[in-house]
């Protein structure tokens, strides 16, 4: 592309992630020539605002991509599986938010702060995958430590906001919270249990090994992004009654010793990270502070006193922004700048 102003499409434009992608393209002044918005037939004809204009949502079909240079997908794994190859065949590069292509060896899985070089591999299939939100914020915080001291093992527990499940879950938490406060019956549609005033140790489906698919995404995607299968990773993923912002308690064991102060100063210089770590002043990362911005917040950094080379930390990011939409748009920015 000579003038470096691509025609862009957002697929899944009416969803929680797609909506935020449109906002990110606008906020970051993404250099595009045109923007097309696509969803299912249910939403075709709806109009959504972009740069002061109203864009009409089109129904996604295999013929949708004729003049599109970059397509940002967030319409679920099935839609990506079916339509991303068609888009790529018509010459467009797909940046896909679903898990459909993440572990395909011919598809780069990218967090721009960690492995931007991997984007070069997009030419084989014309698809680049965006990792799971819980993986993204974890590797942004851990990669600088891995580069310095080598991470041997990661033990992570997540506290994930309902927006990670989409628009219907945001509505479900709102409805249930109101119902409980008003002492009315609490309707359940999205989650198998009440989410209001509760914590569910269950995200995505259970697998034969007893882990959930969300937990195994964190294991497998971390290996691929950090390009090191030797890192031992174990995860417990939990849904909590928070609207936006995933929080993670992370414990690591490093190969060589690194002190909490050194971790703090490494992370203060790390791309995409803000250290919020002054417990005496009650300053630590909070979901409410992460909401609406793009940094990964890290705090409660301290030595794990139970082992020789251990560190504990608390890591929070906006799951819909850095965990999904912003990371996707950042990938597209590198693509335009370096590869198209
Ligand atoms: P959502 O709020 O439920 O929105 C789903 C979007 O997909 C809507 O725009 C919907 O359009 C569209 N869609 C559904 N089926 C379609 C079809 N057959 N053809 C075209 N469009 C279709 O969900 P969300 O939270 O935005 O998440 C969407 C997807 O993004 C997820 O399924 C997941 O794969 C991915 N995601 C990734 C992360 C991450 O960790 N990186 C986080 C959250 C989500 P209609 O309005 O027409 O129904
Ligand atoms: O639950 C969360 O907080 C993140 C959810 C991500 C998600 C939701 C539905 C389908 C994914 C994902 O990105 O891993 C998928 C998927 O498997 O595509």
- Helix ranges, 194-337 (H): 213-226, 260-268, 287-290, 326-334
Q: State residue 34 phi and psi, 5-degree precision.
A: -150, 155
Name the H helices within the chain.
16-27, 77-89, 133-149, 167-181, 213-226, 260-268, 287-290, 326-334
- Closest atom of ligand 1 to CA, residue 133: 40
Dihedral over alpha carbons 214, 219, 224, 225 (to 10 degrees): 80
Measured from the Cα of 204, ligand 2's closest atom is: 1
* Ligand 2 site, residue 135, Cβ cutoff 6 A: no
Model pLDDT, residue 2: 46
Q: Is 160 helix (H, G, I), strand (E, B) or coil?
A: strand
Q: Is 80 exceeded by the pLDDT of residue 335?
A: yes
Average pLDDT over residues 40-62: 97
Q: Label the pairing between strands 246-254 and 310-317.
A: antiparallel
Q: Are 212 and 205 in contact (CB under 8 A)?
A: yes
Q: Is residue 117 among the annotated active site residues?
A: no
Segment 101-121, tens digit of pLDDT: 999 999 999 999 999 999 999
| Residue range 117-158, pLDDT digits in tens | 999 999 999 999 999 999 999 999 999 999 999 999 999 999
275 pocket-lining for ligand 1 (C-beta < 6 Å): no
Has 246 been annotated as catalytic?
yes
* Helices and strands of the chain, counted as H and E runs: 8, 13
pLDDT band, residue 3 (cuts 50/70/90): low
pLDDT of 13:
98
Dihedral in degrees, nearest 10, Cα atoms 94, 95, 100, 102: 120
Report CA(213)–ligand 2 centroid distance (Å).
Answer: 9
Contact between 131 and 102 (Cβ < 8 Å):
yes
Q: Is 137 in the pocket of ligand 1 (CB under 6 A)?
A: no
Residue 102 Cα to ligand 2 midpoint, Å, equals: 12
Strand pairing category for 246-254 and 273-275: unpaired
Q: Which amino acid residue places its CA nearest to atom 3 of ligand 1?
A: 166
Residue of 177, 169, 183 lying closest to 198 (CA atoms): 177
User: Can you tell me which atom of ligand 1 is nearest the CA of 44?
Assistant: 47
């Amino acid at each position: 592309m000579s003038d470096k102003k691509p025609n862009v499409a957002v697929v899944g434009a009416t969803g929680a992630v797609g909506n935020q992608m449109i906002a990110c393209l606008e906020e970051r002044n993404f250099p595009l020539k045109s923007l097309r918005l696509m969803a299912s037939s249910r939403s075709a004809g709806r109009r959504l605002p972009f740069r002061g204009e109203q864009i009409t949502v089109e129904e996604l079909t295999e013929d949708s991509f004729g003049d599109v240079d970059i397509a940002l997908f967030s319409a679920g794994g099935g839609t990506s599986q079916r339509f991303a190859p068609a888009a790529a065949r018509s010459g467009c590069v797909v940046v896909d938010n679903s898990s459909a292509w993440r572990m395909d060896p011919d598809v780069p899985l990218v967090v721009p702060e960690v492995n931007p070089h991997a984007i070069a591999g997009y030419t084989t299939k014309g698809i680049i995958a965006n990792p799971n939100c819980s993986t993204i914020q974890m590797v942004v915080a851990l990669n600088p430590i891995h580069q310095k001291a080598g991470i041997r093992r990661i033990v992570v527990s997540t506290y994930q906001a309902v927006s990670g499940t989409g628009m219907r879950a945001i509505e479900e938490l709102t409805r249930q919270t109101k119902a409980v406060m008003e002492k009315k019956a609490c309707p359940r549609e999205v989650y198998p249990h009440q989410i209001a005033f509760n914590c569910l140790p269950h995200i995505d489906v259970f697998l034969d090994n007893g882990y959930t698919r969300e937990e195994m995404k964190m294991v497998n995607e971390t290996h691929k992004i950090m390009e090191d299968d030797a890192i031992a990773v174990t995860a417990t993923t939990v849904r909590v009654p928070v609207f936006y912002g995933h929080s993670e308690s992370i414990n690591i064991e490093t190969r060589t010793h690194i002190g909490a102060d050194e971790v703090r100063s490494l992370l203060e210089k790390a791309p995409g990270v803000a250290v919020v770590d002054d417990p005496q002043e009650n300053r630590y990362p909070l979901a409410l502070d992460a909401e609406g911005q793009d940094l990964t917040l890290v705090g409660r950094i301290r030595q794990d006193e139970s082992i020789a080379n251990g560190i504990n930390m608390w890591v929070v990011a906006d799951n819909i922004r850095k965990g999904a939409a912003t990371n996707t748009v950042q990938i597209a920015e590198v693509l335009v700048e370096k590869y198209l």
